[in-house]
Amino acid sequence: MDQKKRVFSGIQPSGGAMTLGNYFGAIKNWVDMQDDYDCIYSVVDMHAITVQTDASKLRSQTLDVLAQIIACGLDPAKNILFIQSHVPQHAELAWVLGCYTMFGELSRMTQFKDKSSKNPQNINSGLFTYPTLQAADIILYDTDLVPVGEDQRQHLELARNIVQRFNGLHGDVLRMPELFIPKVGAKIMSLQEPTQKMSKSDPNPGAFVLISDSQDEIMRKFKRAVTDSGSEVRPGDDKPGVTNLMTIYCAATGKTTDEAVNEFAGKGYGDFKAAVGEAVAAILSPIRERAAQLSKDKAQLEAIYRDGAARAEDIARRVMRRIAKKIGYVGK
């Protein structure tokens, strides 16, 4: 029997609730992959501290996001689910890989430029070097595939550059990861600025949908979603608002774009936006209820993340020993 390919990905706990973009761009695909791949998923709390965060809030948000990804359908028995800071090899390998990462490579990272402009009072070195920690997250588990959004392509390319550089010096030590981007719903845009990615850091709460939103909130946000001039319900470069809503509708219903266009032929934007809201609410309502139940059961959550960390560290420790030997560390 062929060995399953290994998948690793992580999600930040900042904000405490995942967006619809997180669900369709990442988590739904994680769920779809869990039977066919050896999957490892982490709530990456170490990445979250690149911005100043209240300690108690970070703890609660980390557990909330863990509960949400389980509620989305990730089975702890089929996947390794853990909290990043519980596996110390992430920080250990990040330092090693930092010594194989060029300053110029990090300075070209688009997200560093974006986040620096948004947080000019806190341009810390962690914000600059976190793509190296992200590379360590991936490399630490001999990852084959990384299912992330299009916006993370640059960071995955950096990880691949680091692997190539390290292996060029030390032999075939690190596994080369590949990017996996889903065909539908890979990038969900803002409901108010459809040329911008949906983000819960948006100052306008109507721009994003959270998994924790009630059905009424979901419907209200979609009814107020920005559309475009004209009344024809079809995607196109001249209709970014409708295109985004069509992407969401197809991701939520499993319908093709052609099927959706035919369904709304002759109908107006009002009917279309209501249908999108209803389709999204139908998916998110049971997830929201299950996540709320899990969040109340602290003992169950603790058992899941402790077991996940132990399983993750077993892999990470072996990979780190292999790397340490190659770079010349004295064995313990």
Catalytic residues: 115, 197, 200
List Cα–Cα distances, 178 to 46, 84, 115, 209, 232, in angstroms.
Answer: 23, 21, 26, 30, 39
How many helical (H) and strand (E) elements, i.e. helices and strands, does the chain have? 14, 5
Q: Provide the token pair at 42.
A: 């982490």
CA distance 70 to 209: 19
Q: Which amino acid, one-letter code, is at 305?
A: Y
Angle between helices 298-327 and 89-98 in degrees, nearest 10: 40
CA distance 153 to 177: 12
List Cα–Cα distances, 74 to 26, 42, 101, 262, in angstroms.
Answer: 12, 12, 33, 34
Say if strands 145-147 and 178-180 run parallel, antiparallel, or are unpaired.
Answer: parallel
Sheet of 178-180: strands edge to edge?
A: 79-83, 38-43, 6-11, 145-147, 178-180
Q: How many CB atoms lie within 10 A of CB 147?
A: 23
CA distance 26 to 263: 27
Q: Provide the token pair at 20.
A: 């619809």
CB 38 within 8 A of CB 5: yes
Element (H, E) at 303: helix 298-327
